[in-house]
Structure 1
């Protein structure tokens, strides 16, 4: 009888996600083209054609790089390189980002639903004016063809301020950078800026009506909407 151990069956290697493959190719292009911080990447249409993918798929990879701070996607200009990074560090960052997204969503549900309810009970005329100004800012951005990220941020800041809860406001500030990650991911989804704005208007209406239950429910529905991102699929 042989003492030689039988070989262990080989496990199937996980196939890299398409956006990870695209990120590797984009970083390879940045390296081969010797782009430096401040340089502009080719237009999305040209990049998509070169890589043989749809613009929607390419946009997902670009947003992933934007979240990690490798590029800055500027409306009307395009993707600008912020710093050159290694493939290994970027893929590691992407996977860490993806793994923490559910925790960020959970934290938002815990904090922002309660903040919306408190805002409905405590809002002042000045608070309502700030909320309306944020909605108008997001509408202008979307009308200009942008994603509305700044107006989105202003809206959530205005709701937080309207709750008049300093400790909860500090907690929101603490997770602010992580919320920014989910904001960029969400608003990059096709049609999402318009959906998010409509959702914001529902929250604002409940706050204006001083209906705490409706405001909390509307915020929960909003968070569920914006948490539907391609990176979690």
Structure 2
């Protein structure tokens, strides 16, 4: 019989700081756009080092819950601080590079084939996806549905059953990488602009330009706060 007992671990200090910040936000009734107390004040009130405060803020940034503005403090991007368990973040950080490698390998080829094989119905689906994403961003949302529809339309336009099956197999991981990217500050509008470039190359039946535009887009997707976070710092 497998032993289910595991070593007991203490919460990292920055995890305790995050719990205190969550209570502060709830207790003070803070909302999206409100500013958290300065790092120095938090360190003094919680009696911890500023390094622990900084790490707690980084973890909240990774999850899109706060935004650090250079020289301007830390502001809420949500009405409550309800972070994921750190263990879940660590696991996502571990698998994300492999997911992004797979996306680049598959989606650059899909963009190339879409430029060569697309028909009028495919172009209509791509354009409809861009409109959905634009409307979502205009409403202040991340544009995740439109992003999903766009990449699905490009996949369909490639007319490759096997590549489409590969994309379905990693659909859950792709959705995770999509959310990770689009929650970065100012990322949704940039992503939409890149989608427009990909669509233009496919419409022009220019496979080289489609590959380049998709690769540029996926390089941007790679630039997420999660991958620069060191979970072992305290």
TM-score of the aligned structures, taking structure 1 as reference length: 0.69
- Partner residue of 1:137 out of 124, 132, 152: 132
In 1: Cα distance, 2:16 partner to 2:96 partner: 22
Unaligned residue ranges in structure 1 (runs of 5+): 1-15, 36-40, 65-76
In 2: Cα distance, 1:159 partner to 1:93 partner: 31
Please state if 1:43 is matched with 2:31. yes
Contact 2:198 2:214 in 1 (8 A): yes
Unaligned residue ranges in structure 2 (runs of 5+): 1-11, 43-52, 66-77, 229-234
Give the alignment's Cα RMSD to 1 decimal.
Answer: 3.2
Please state if 1:182 is matched with 2:182. no
In 2: Cα distance, 1:218 partner to 1:100 partner: 25
Deviation, 1:216, is 1.1
CA separation of 1:170/1:157 partners in 2, compared to 1, >3 Å: closer, same or farther?
Answer: same
In 1: Cα distance, 2:142 partner to 2:16 partner: 25
Match of 1:164 in 2: 159
In 1: Cα distance, 2:128 partner to 2:60 partner: 29
- Secondary structure in 1 aligned to 2:172? helix
Match of 2:117 in 1: 122
Q: Which runs of 4+ in 1 moved over 4 A?
A: 23-30, 49-54, 56-59, 77-81
In 2: Cα distance, 1:179 partner to 1:103 partner: 11
CA separation of 1:144/1:24 partners in 2, compared to 1, >3 Å: closer, same or farther?
Answer: farther
* 1:98-126 Cα distance to aligned partner (Å, 9 max, x none): 11111111000100000000111111100
Match of 1:149 in 2: 144
TM-score of the aligned structures, taking structure 2 as reference length: 0.69
How many pairs does the alignment contain? Answer: 189
Match of 2:49 in 1: none
- Secondary structure in 1 aligned to 2:126? helix
